[in-house]
Amino acid sequence: MASSSDQIQYHIHVVGKWMAPDFHKLRTAAEFLASTRSNVKATVEGYFETQYEMRLKKIAHTLGGAFFLAKPSSTLVYAIADDEKALYFNNMDRFMEWAEKRFKYEDSTSILLYKRMANKSQQQHYAKNRKYCQLTFQFDGKEEEPVAFELFYKECPRVVENFLALVQSGRYLGSPIHRVKEDCFIQGGDIVDGSGSNSVSSTGSPIPDDSFKYKHDSAGLVGMCKSRLDTNGSQFYITLDELPYFDGKNLIFGRVISGMRTMWKISRLQTNYAGRPVKTVKISAVRSDLLDKKSAEISGDNVKAGEENDAEREEREAAEDQAAAVKVQSMFRGKAARKDVESKVAAKKQKELEEKMAAEQAERERAEEEEAATKVQALYKGKKARRRVDDMKQDKGKAGAVTYESADVNAASGGEEVA
């Protein structure tokens, strides 16, 4: 008989960051269950940090309830049952306990494997036709979380090359955020005097517009500030919300993929009548190429070297990852095989038990029939014996009656023959 968990249909959703190990552990679990269980479907959504945070907000507003408690620091995992009921798991362990209870799913894989999977996945999702750089902002004498950008090089090559040239040369260092418009955008990039009146390109000449393909449809987009068409320079802005009235006028050339929390902090700072933060916010460090491990982070005081590129280490880690992946696959296949064997053994034991019970039942019925037959025979023998006794008594009674009749006749005749 099918269990209740086999009858209910579940659609498991895993939404998280490519760089998070728990995302890959939950993704592995959901995909494995979907591939081995007919009543399970899986949807996996992976994002860069900023895009995940925005996706999380949309899901919370759609599903409501406990989903508003979901934290951006954790992977979101939930299941929709066939009755449309949403099962929210507030952490990975709760989901794994549910999966083990419902589907006998277990995962004893070392977290180190999932950390490597996360690192490799993050690298794989850096697009080849895009560029990646990083800016660090400082205010209150403290550097905030670095802000990483994905730049749309394929669609906007001239604007992106200009921006990267300014980053790489260090010309953005010390330049302030000179304008914050609440719930709209944060503006900076005046590399001349920081007043907001200047926007100078890396070449000294205005950079023409490339493409208006991307719309101002979310927070975290990076665009170029300009006074008119084809006058892009050094000033840029980062959106804090949808700004559809900018479409076709200002050019989007990138997006924030991590560190958006720093932008939100800046957006909440007190400003003067012109929108300039009362506390000075400036760019304190830059890194022009996040994909190059030798790329240095440039700051006002020093140059921080990137990671050394060690081909042998990468080759060894790749081999270890492959071996670990094979081990995981073997473990899953082994579990499936063990479950199959256990199922067959259980079926065999059940069959043997049923046969044994049937044999015992047949033996009981045979014994009962024999006992009943014995009782019937004894009953018949008893009746037959009683008939014989009754017949003997009856025969004896008849003999006595004849003798008494003869005596009476003799007495009446006086013992003499009557003439």
pLDDT digits (tens, 9 = 90+) for 267-320: 999 999 999 999 999 999 999 988 876 667 888 666 555 544 445 556 666 666
For 120-177, how does the pLDDT look when each residue is reduced to its tens digit (9 = 90+)?
998 888 888 899 999 999 998 899 999 999 999 999 999 999 999 999 999 999 999 9
Q: What is the pLDDT of residue 419?
A: 35
pLDDT above 60 for 213? yes
d(C-alpha 338, C-alpha 269), whole Å: 60
Name which of 40, 43, 38, 41 is nearest 27 in CA terms: 43
pLDDT of residue 80: 96
Task: Specify the higher pLDDT residue, 84 or 47.
Answer: 47
Domain boundaries, the chain: 4-122, 127-309
In total, the chain counts a number of residues equal to 419
Using an 8 Å Cβ cutoff, are 254 and 281 in contact? no
Distance CA(138)–CA(141), nearest Å, equals 6
Residue 361, pLDDT > 90, answer no
* Alpha-carbon span 66 to 81, nearest angstrom: 16
Q: Is the pLDDT of residue 401 over 80?
A: no
Dihedral sign of CA atoms 180, 186, 191, 196 in order: negative
Residue at token pair 């591939």: 35
Report which of 6, 13, 14 is spatially closest to residue 38, judged by C-alpha positions.
6
Give the confidence band of 414 by pLDDT, cuts at 50, 70, 90: very low
Q: Under a CB-based contact definition with an 8 Å cutoff, are residues 218 and 51 in contact? A: no
Lowest mean pLDDT segment, chosen from 191-195, 316-320, 353-357:
316-320
Architecture of the domain whose range is 4-122: 3-Layer(aba) Sandwich (3.40)
pLDDT by residue (tens digit) across 54-63?
999 999 999 9
Interaxial angle between packed helices 21-36 and 92-103, expressed in degrees from 0 to 180 and rounded to the nearest 10: 20
- Taking the whole predicted model, whether its pTM rises above 0.85 is answered as no
Mean pLDDT of 199-220: 97
Residue 232 per-residue DSSP state? B
Q: How confident is the model at residue 47 (pLDDT cuts 50, 70, 90)?
A: very high
Range 127-309: architecture per CATH:
Beta Barrel (2.40)
Task: Please say if the pLDDT value at position 412 is more than 50.
Answer: no
**pLDDT(263) > 60:** yes
pLDDT at 405: 47
Query: Which pLDDT belongs to residue 181?
Result: 97
The pLDDT of residue 56: 97
Q: Comparing 331 with 297, which gets the higher pLDDT?
A: 297
Q: Comparing 22-26, 99-103, 321-325, which segment has the lowest mean pLDDT?
A: 321-325
Taken in order 311, 312, 313, 318, the sign of the CA dihedral is positive
Query: pLDDT averaged over the chain?
Result: 86
Fold: same for 4-122 and 127-309: no
Percent over 70 (pLDDT), the chain: 83
Q: Which has the higher per-residue pLDDT, 225 or 335? A: 225
Q: 334: buried, middle or exposed (CB in 10 Å: 19+, 13-18, 0-12)?
A: exposed
Mean pLDDT across the stretch 374-386?
Answer: 77
